[in-house]
Amino acid sequence: MGRSSECVKVVVRCRPLNSDEKRDKREMIVDMDWQTGGVTLHAGSKASTDPPKSFAFDAVFPPDSRQDDLYQQTAAPIIENVFEGYNGTIFAYGQTGTGKTFTMEGVNEPPELRGIIPRAFHHIFDLIDSRGGQTTEFLVRASYLEIYNEEVRDLLSRQVSR
């Protein structure tokens, strides 16, 4: 796989304006260059004299990016490395309403809108199916952790949290 697929990478996805934002005639203040991994934030008002702020990331996914492209470029290499014996983590971070749930879960139908989690499970079980045999066993364990108000919850746990 190579060293670059075994290190921490920081990826940014920008969601499109939602219907309320469009109705309020809000403007997009984020420009993304997927070729360079650059993100530029512009002041919200055309009259503002604030200079733009630029940031660089390992990869960026603009508002029109597809779920499959994001998965193939970010999560798929992690799943492949897990099958080579490495631990893998996908960490979604951001403000409420920024698109974390859509990116991670998506929606079940149509299939092209499925997020990282269902795609990863499908990928894992396809790999098990193709690499398994009578002498090979696999143990699959998953955690889906939420950190909210400084409390950690495993959303896959059967225990009711108090």
Q: What CATH number is associated with residue 31?
A: 3.40.850.10
Residue 111 placed within a domain: yes
pLDDT higher than 50, residue 3: no
Question: Which element (helix H / strand E) includes 13?
Answer: strand 11-13
State whether residue 123 is helix, strand or coil. Answer: helix
Q: Which domain holds residue 80?
A: 3-154
Residue-wise pLDDT tens digits, 91-126? 899 888 899 999 999 999 999 999 999 999 999 999
Contact between 126 and 76 (Cβ < 8 Å): no
pLDDT higher than 70, residue 85: yes
Residue-wise pLDDT tens digits, 119-149? 999 999 999 998 877 788 888 888 888 888 8
Q: How many independent structural domains does the chain possess?
A: 1
Residue 161 placed within a domain: no
| Rounded Cα–Cα distance for residues 37 and 32 (Å) | 7
